[in-house]
Amino acid sequence: MGLLSQLKQKYKTLSIVGMAKNAGKTTALNYLIEEAMDDGVILGITSTGRDGESTDLVTGTDKPRVFLDAGTIVSVPVKLYDLADAGLEILSMTNYSTALGQIMLCRVAESGYVQIAGPVNTKDHKKMCREMLAYGAEIVLIDGAIDRKSIAAPDTSDAIILSTGAVLSRSMKKVVEETAHIVGLYQLPELEEGSVRDLICSGEEQDKIMLIKGDRREILDLKTGLTAGKYLDEAIGDETDFIYIPGALTTSVISDIHPAKMKQVEFILKDPTKIFIDAMQWQQLRKKGFTVKVLDNITVAALTVNPHAPAGYSFEHEALLKAMRSEIDEIPVIDVKMGGDFSETI
């Protein structure tokens, strides 16, 4: 059984997230599309930006085009409709607008290449995905074409497919370490239901830093912790149990907190996409007693690897697969240009 056939048994919407440009995200998308064609799965295809063009509009490098089979439900803005090689049947004109015009939901009537785009707003994306499912899509794939962090957010889709590869570094060891780090962050433990979660999620101050002291909370007059390290250190008292930070978590946010206080409190974040700390710094913080939970973590349904980098270097694909699977053994890992066996349960 192919990867997609297994995934659709568990998920209705999947975001494809690249750890960097040229990590193989569009190749992964095309791999899943080909599987759908082979297995007769009706896909919904959309994007958080624009995808399917032959040349990257930012880097100028060649990109894999997106070929869609007949029956696929796809989101296409007005200005890209005439650029499609595929025959497209317009199902509806939506209320979602982009720089490329109003988004249309189309059914592919005749197979061919399509440039796709969708709403940037997460709320609109979720609504549009429901419309695609109502039109007959069995699973919707969301191409994360704009911001890698935001598209991975847990309120965007049921789960993500993470694409990584040689583009991250000339060192295979570093590629594996950074990928395992991100997967680890995405799977951070969620804050359990109870009084602490209720304190954080109640009221209109969820965009403010909070200190949780027993059964009460203290709202700090800060919207972000980026420049508030010393202020946080001073604010943490003997009764402080938790710190909720709604914005970005960087080393500068916590670098001025005394080590003893670091061990005393537990940090709570909205979700793992708020963390901007590399693998080495993260390990150093953990050794100091730093602990963190999230309100919502991210389900990584599968990991795809690309052994080739645009700079001209590459890894031996079997070696990369072996190293990645050795480090990340709880989710399927596949080189989408090689294929793979997914007989195990996802």
> What proportion of the chain, given as a percentage, has pLDDT over 70?
89
pLDDT at 227: 63
pLDDT at 2: 79
Q: What is the mean pLDDT of residues 284-296?
A: 93
Where do runs of H (alpha helix) occur along 66-121? Answer: 78-81
> What proportion of the chain, given as a percentage, has pLDDT over 90?
63
pLDDT at 5: 85
Q: What is the mean pLDDT of residues 245-268?
A: 89
Which pLDDT band, with edges at 50, 70 and 90, does 232 fall under? Answer: confident
Task: Report the candidate in 171, 150, 179 with the shortest Cα–Cα distance to residue 272.
Answer: 150
Q: Please check whether residue 10 is in contact with residue 342, taking contact to mean a CB–CB distance below 8 angstroms.
A: no
Q: What is the mean pLDDT of residues 296-311?
A: 93
In the predicted structure, residue 241 carries a pLDDT above the cut 60: yes
Q: What is the mean pLDDT of residues 91-110?
A: 93
Question: Rounded distance, CA 148 to CA 298, Å?
Answer: 13
Which pLDDT band, with edges at 50, 70 and 90, does 37 fall under? Answer: very high
Element (H, E) at 13: strand 13-18
- Tell me the three-class secondary structure of 294-319, residue by residue: ECCCCCEEEEEEECECCCCCECCHHH
Of 143-147, 267-271, 295-299, the least confident: 143-147
| pLDDT tens, residue by residue, 43-67 | 999 988 655 444 444 444 444 578 9
Mean pLDDT, the chain, rounded, equals 87
pLDDT at 1: 62
Question: Rounded distance, CA 272 to CA 186, Å?
Answer: 5
Helix (H, G, I), strand (E, B) or coil at 81: helix
In the predicted structure, residue 7 carries a pLDDT above the cut 60: yes
Q: What is the mean pLDDT of residues 201-210?
A: 83
pLDDT at 149: 64
Instruction: State the residue for tokens 């109870």.
Output: 194
CB half-sphere exposure, 289, CA atoms < 13 A: 10
Q: What is the mean pLDDT of residues 291-308?
A: 95
Q: CATH classification of 3-186+298-335 is 2.30.30, yes or no?
A: no
In the predicted structure, residue 344 carries a pLDDT above the cut 50: no
pLDDT at 239: 92
In the predicted structure, residue 345 carries a pLDDT above the cut 70: no
Task: Report the candidate in 289, 302, 287, 281 with the shortest Cα–Cα distance to residue 186.
Answer: 302
Question: Rounded distance, CA 242 to CA 267, Å?
Answer: 6
